[in-house]
Structure formats: structure tokens, C-alpha cells
Amino acid sequence: AGRLPLSGRHVLVTSGPTHEPIDPVRYIANRSSGKQGHAIAAAAQTLGARVTLVTGPVDLPDPEGVTVQHVETAREMLAAVEAALPADVAVFAAAVADWRAATEAEHKIKKGKGASPPALALVENPDILSTVARRSRQRPQLVIGFAAETDKVVENAETKRKSKAVDWILANDVSEGSGVFGGDRNRVHLVTAQGVEDWPEMSKTDLAAALLGRAARYLAQAKGS
Ligand code: C5P
């Protein structure tokens, strides 16, 4: 077999939502389906990479030929990501919960007759993307994030790219009616230090292939590789 564009490379991908427990039966979550992240992992594998996919709870099969780490919480996701380093490319497609319950109740929280509902105190979760992008040791050569925005999509993504020390951001409009969450299609703007490219609407599979093809060309052109 001929050498594929990502032969010899390790690609690390996060996907899906995270579940943040409140008590043994309840959790905080979000609407991420994992379709885009899983498609990215599969595309990297097709291009010849060794792939590690760290995924939150999703209804999708593990992509073939990919090492899959299943996690529930943001903190578990961060630990699995760090354990998977080094990587040449890291793509952060997971919709990590921004907050988790400050404490996880050991027993199911009971509804009290006439009592007021319990207060839910939240604390911030680690930002996995920026933690990895700011590493001095074992920072992947190419760190890619997503920015799901409902307003000022590109502007907010440019700010995010810089504040999180990310190389590329894929900005997408997830406002109501865009159909991105759970859908099969996506439309993104690729935001890099060189500027912004508006990509046409395409399937999440085609987007994954385009992105990984682009990443392969970037690695091939980068000095010392
Ligand atoms: O700040 P925001 O959540 O919009 O950033 C989105 C990007 O950051 C995505 O690439 C997402 O996977 C990543 N992220 C992360 N850890 C978090 C929050 C976001 O890796 N706690």
C-alpha cells in the first residue's frame, strides 16, 4: 500500500457531550450528537493516521480502526486526552459542559413535601482545548477547535482562537433553525492566523475529510517534518 497523507501521524479527537453528575440518577448535559467529532476521527483513520478518539456518551458506534476512550465528565475527558499525548494533530469537537455541580450527592436528592427545590451550585470545568493548546511540553503541532456561536459567528471565533491559543477554529452557526445540532450537515468558517475562509455547506463526513486533508497538507509543509 502506498503512503497515505497522514501515515505515521497520531491524531487525537474529542467528540460528543459530557455528562456532569448531580446525584446518582441526574446529570447536566447538552445537545451534542458526536456526529462531527466521530466523522473527523474516521476521516483521520482513512487518511492513514493512528487515531485516538475520546468521546462522551453518544449513540454512535465506535469508528472502525480507531482507539476509542469512553468518558462521562469533562475531568475524565481531560485526563484521557492528556494520557493520549503526544499527538501531531488534536481536534476538539466535543461539546464539553462549561459547568459541573459543585458537589455530587452520594444519594438521590429527594423531593421534600412543601420544601423548596434544592439549589444547584455550579463550578467551572477545565477548558480541555486551551489546556492542551497552552502546554509547553507535548503541544500538538496543530490544535484545532470548534466555536459554536449564535451571534457574530466569525468575530467571536477570532477572539476565541487567540484567547485559547488555538491554531485553527471552525466556526459554526448553531442558532435555532441552522439544524447543526444532531443534523448531518454543517457549514463552517475556517479561522486561522492567515484569515477567514467561508466553506460551503456540506455533510459532516465531507467536512471531516476536507479538514483532515487540509491538516495533512499543513503538516507536510511545516518545517522539520
Ligand atoms: O468556549 P467554547 O466552549 O465555545 O469553545 C469551544 C471549543 O473549546 C471546542 O473546540 C470545544 O471542544 C473546546 N472546549 C473544551 N473544553 C471545554 C470547553 C470547550 O475543550 N471545557
pLDDT of 223 > 70? The answer is no
Q: Whose CA is nearest to atom 5 of ligand 1?
A: 147
Of 96, 123, 170, the one to substitute when testing ligand 1's pocket (max ligand atoms within 8 A of C-beta) is 96
Lookup result for grid cell 499525548: 85
Å from CA of 92 to ligand 1 middle: 7
Å from CA of 3 to ligand 1 middle: 33
Residue 170, in any domain of the structure: yes
- CATH number of the domain where residue 132 is located: 3.40.50.10300
Q: Which of 34-38, 92-96, 170-174, 208-212 has the lowest mean pLDDT?
A: 170-174
The larger pLDDT score, comparing residue 216 to residue 113, is at 216
Residue 88, in any domain of the structure: yes
Which ligand 1 atom lies nearest to the CA of residue 148? 4
58 confidence band (pLDDT: 50, 70, 90): very high
Residue 62, in any domain of the structure: yes
Q: Cell for 126?
A: 477545565
Alpha-carbon distance of 146 to 168, in angstroms, equals 8
Alpha-carbon distance of 225 to 127, in angstroms, equals 29
Average pLDDT over residues 140-156: 94
Number of compact structural domains in the chain: 1
What's the confidence (pLDDT) of residue 115? 85
Ligand 1 neighbours (beta carbon < 6 A): 14, 74, 92-94, 96, 125, 127-129, 145-147, 160
Tell me the per-residue pLDDT of 60-96, one tens digit each, with 9 for 90 and over: 999 999 999 999 999 999 999 999 999 999 999 999 9
Average pLDDT over residues 102-130: 94
Chain length of the chain: 225
Judge if pTM exceeds 0.90: yes
Q: Whose CA is nearest to atom 4 of ligand 1?
A: 147
Mean pLDDT score of the chain: 94
Q: What is the 3-state secondary structure (H, E, C) of the chain?
A: CCCCCCCCCEEEEEECECCEEEECCEEECCCCCCHHHHHHHHHHHHCCCEEEEEECCCCCCCCCCCEEEECCCHHHHHHHHHHHCCCCEEEECCECCCEEECCCCCCCCCCCCCCCCCCCCEEECCCHHHHHHCCCCCCCCEEEEEEEECCCHHHHHHHHHHHCCCCEEEEEECCCCCCCCCCCEECEEEEECCEEEECCCEEHHHHHHHHHHHHHHHHHHCCCC
Longest dimension (CA), the chain: 71
Alpha-carbon distance of 30 to 17, in angstroms, equals 6
Alpha-carbon distance of 199 to 107, in angstroms, equals 48
Residue 210, in any domain of the structure: yes
Residue 153, in any domain of the structure: yes
Residue 112, in any domain of the structure: no
* Contact in structure between 147 and 157 (CB atoms under 8 Å): yes
Tell me the per-residue pLDDT of 126-146, one tens digit each, with 9 for 90 and over: 999 999 999 999 999 999 999
Residue 149, in any domain of the structure: yes
Alpha-carbon distance of 42 to 21, in angstroms, equals 29
C-alpha torsion sign, points 35, 36, 41, 44: positive
Å from CA of 96 to ligand 1 middle: 6
Domain span at residue 213 reads 10-102+119-223
9 confidence band (pLDDT: 50, 70, 90): very high
Alpha-carbon distance of 171 to 191, in angstroms, equals 7
pLDDT of 1 > 60? The answer is no
Average pLDDT over residues 89-114: 95
Residue 1, in any domain of the structure: no
